[in-house]
Amino acid sequence: MTQPFQWQGRTDGETQEHLRIHQVINKTSPAQFALIGFTSDEGVRRNKGRLGAKAGPNEIRRQLAGLPLHQPLAIRDAGNVSCDDGNLEAAQRRLSDEIVTILEANQKPIVLGGGHEVAFASFQGLFDFVEKQNTNKTIGIINFDAHFDLREASEATSGTPFLQSAKLCKQHQRPFNYLCLGIAEHGNTKVLFDTADKLGCQYIRDKALTSSQLAQARVQIQQFIDQVDHLYVTIDLDVFSAAIAPGVSAPAPRGISTETFDELFGVIKSSGKITVFDIAECNPEFDIDNHTSKLAAYLIYQYLF
């Protein structure tokens, strides 16, 4: 774990109506939520993407710090798990173990990436937690992403996390339930679509997430949610248009809007089944005026409140 982030920001007063996140984090025990960062872009490097996502977690924290509270919030910062030596697999294992610890404390992890290699660690943590409970509860993955991240490779990358997750499920004879929202046809090869179909994955293309088609998407999402007990929700920021999320490894020329996200996420959040939540691919190196880190903070805010 790295040195703790210094939470600070504008302070207008100390009474409840003035409070911002930086004034309450780490102040309430037990916490309901726990932030944990994954300072890694080793998976992006292996996947030949643009480096810089390693700095994402603390930049997201900076944008979260000043957001106002309209109701009490019990949240703590569990620090960062880093990948500084190129050993991504070991770093993923450390993060998944930390996630298990957070879940066992009856807290909800909010994982801050980093490259989307964070996803396998997040899923593995939830998977291990559920297995330890010995309850046969099922897990569903909902991934907001322009890409399937089902790539077959000789080592883990930011493009392999959900194929790794599928293999973990198969190894333990558990169902692999995966729904990807915002898939860009121009961003995925045919073999990736074939892999998704072979694994029984569900997906909705970005072009199908227009205002006139959202009702149909909501029905599909609700049906997916109804068949699982726990949800792991992951948001790769490249699912949004590059106009609002320029600071990512692979900017999207089309993408979805925040309005679309809000409507679909409302269905997911209202289920009460979200157990692990993460944000991936925030890359401050390529951001413009903090647009992408501010968007990441906004998405977390929608989850918290």
Tens digit of each residue's pLDDT (9 = 90 or more) over 249-297: 888 889 999 999 999 999 999 999 999 999 999 999 999 999 999 999 9
Do the annotations mark residue 147 as ligand-binding?
Answer: yes
Please check whether residue 7 lies inside any domain of the structure.
no
- Please name the residue that has the structure tokens 């703590």: 76
Residue 53 Cα distances to 57, 270, 303, angstroms: 8, 30, 22
Closest CA to 165 of 50, 276, 304: 276
Burial class (CB in 10 A: 0-12, 13-18, 19+), 263: middle
The reply to whether 137 falls in a domain is yes
* Residue 244: inside a domain: yes
CB atoms within 10 A of CB 153: 12
In a domain, 11, yes or no: no
Chain-centre distance for alpha carbon 118: 8
Is omega for the bond preceding 114 within 30 degrees of 0, making it cis?
Answer: yes
| Domain tally, the chain | 1
Annotated ligand binding at 41? The verdict is: no
Confidence of residue 219 (pLDDT cuts 50, 70, 90): very high
Read off the pLDDT of residues 47-88 as tens digits, 9 standing for 90 and up: 999 999 999 999 999 999 999 999 999 999 999 999 999 999
Provide the CATH number for the domain around residue 118: 3.40.800.10
Show the domain range for 36: 16-304
- Name the amino acid, one letter, at 128: D
| Residue 145 counted as an annotated binding residue | yes
Predicted confidence band of residue 1 (pLDDT cuts 50, 70, 90)? low
Question: Radius of gyration over alpha carbons of the chain, in Å?
Answer: 18
Q: Is 258 among the domain residues? A: yes
- Read off the tokens for 169: 């499920």
Look at residue 246 and tell me if it is in a domain: yes
Query: What does the DSSP 8-state code read for residue 247?
Result: S
Q: Say if residue 97 carries a ligand binding annotation.
A: no
How far, in Å, are 20, 27, 73, 87, 136 from residue 76 at the CA level?
A: 14, 8, 10, 27, 30
For residue 162, tell me if it sits in a domain: yes
Contacts by 11-14, CB closer than 8 A, 24 or more apart:
none
Residue 48 CA to residue 44 CA, distance in Å, equals 6
CA gap 186, 205 in Å, rounded: 10
Helix extents (H) in 227-280: 258-270
The answer to whether residue 16 scores a pLDDT higher than 60 is yes
Q: Does 77 belong to an annotated binding site?
A: no
Contacts of 72 (CB under 8 A, 6+ apart): 16, 24, 28
* Within-domain flag for 89: yes
Structure tokens at 286: 């390529």
Average pLDDT of the chain to the nearest whole number? 96
**pLDDT digits over 104-149, tens only?**
999 999 999 999 999 999 999 999 999 999 888 999 999 999 999 9
Q: What is the pTM of this model?
A: 0.96
238 is in an annotated binding site: yes
d(CA 129, CA 208): 35
